[in-house]
């Protein structure tokens, strides 16, 4: 009688993956908190503060990129759960989130 290897828990792997995305959003929020909200004097209503420019960048560039990265991560998670021999939920969730988040971060820094 041969015993099959234990299956990986998909729910806990998904929670690890979601935790990485929550960490990225929290880090962005903390970064926004460090930026200045004041507008340069003599600029009028034309100029924006560093905080508002970064927030607009986050809404129009980083948020769609993060959504695409999430879709890729979910597909990667499904493949890793079904085809890998790894038995650690933390490792599988981290591997599924790692490459898309790194690619998203690198693409977001290109001017």
Q: What are the residue boundaries of the structural domains of the chain, listed by start?
A: 51-111
Q: Render pLDDT for 25-40 as a digit per residue (tens, 0 to 9).
A: 999 899 888 988 887 7
The C-alpha atoms of residue 21 and residue 67 are separated, in whole angstroms, by 10
Q: Render pLDDT for 18-76 as a digit per residue (tens, 0 to 9).
A: 999 999 999 989 988 898 888 777 776 778 888 888 899 889 988 898 899 999 999 99
Q: How many CB atoms lie within 10 A of CB 10?
A: 16
Q: Are 28 and 102 in contact (CB under 8 A)?
A: no
Q: Quote the tokens at residue 86.
A: 């790894």
């Amino acid at each position: 009688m041969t015993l099959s290897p234990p299956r990986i828990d998909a729910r806990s792997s998904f929670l690890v993956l979601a935790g990485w995305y929550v960490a990225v959003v929290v880090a962005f929020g903390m970064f926004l908190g460090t930026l200045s909200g004041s507008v340069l004097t003599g600029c009028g209503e034309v100029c924006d503060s560093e905080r508002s420019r970064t927030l607009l960048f986050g809404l129009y560039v980083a948020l769609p990129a993060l959504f695409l990265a999430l879709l890729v991560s979910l597909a990667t998670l499904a493949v890793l759960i079904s085809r890998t021999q790894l038995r650690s939920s933390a490792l599988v969730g981290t591997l599924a989130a790692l490459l898309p988040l790194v690619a998203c971060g690198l693409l977001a820094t290109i001017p």
